[in-house]
């Protein structure tokens, strides 16, 4: 199972930029990988783990902006079509078969 986080945060003032940086660091430290600008994803081991990460995400939200969260299956993620560009290294190396090891 995968969690995807989409966000659009203001970066006008110095405080906005700091909030953006703190939120992005939280995502990286919590195991998310950048899929593309403002879209991050991570692998989880089922619904319980998903709920845990959603609570953590809710506790670390910035004050302003828009943050969205989507939970999809590994099969749905694997069926994602890339219209322009390539899969990132992390997407190429971690697949559903390797998920069984976690």
Report the CATH number that the domain containing residue 84 is assigned in CATH. Answer: 3.30.70.240
Question: CB-based burial of residue 73 (10 Å sphere; 0-12 exposed, 13-18 middle, 19+ buried)?
Answer: exposed
Nearest to 36 by CA among 7, 78, 66: 7
As for how many domains the chain has, the answer is 1
Domain hosting 66: range is 2-99
Q: pTM here?
A: 0.82
- Rounded CA gap, 40 and 31, in Å? 10
2-49 residue pLDDT tens: 999 999 999 999 999 999 999 999 999 999 999 999 999 999 998 999
58-94 residue pLDDT tens: 999 999 999 999 999 999 998 988 888 887 776 666 6
């Amino acid at each position: 199972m995968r969690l995807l986080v989409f966000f659009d945060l203001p970066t006008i003032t110095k405080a906005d930029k700091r909030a953006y940086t703190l939120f992005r660091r939280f995502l990286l430290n919590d195991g998310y990988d950048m899929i593309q600008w403002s879209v991050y994803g991570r692998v989880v081991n089922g619904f319980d783990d998903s709920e845990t990460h959603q609570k953590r995400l809710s506790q670390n939200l910035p004050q302003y902006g828009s943050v969205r969260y989507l939970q999809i299956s590994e099969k749905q993620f694997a069926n994602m079509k890339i219209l322009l560009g390539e899969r990132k290294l992390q997407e190429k190396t971690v697949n559903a078969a390797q998920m069984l090891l976690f």
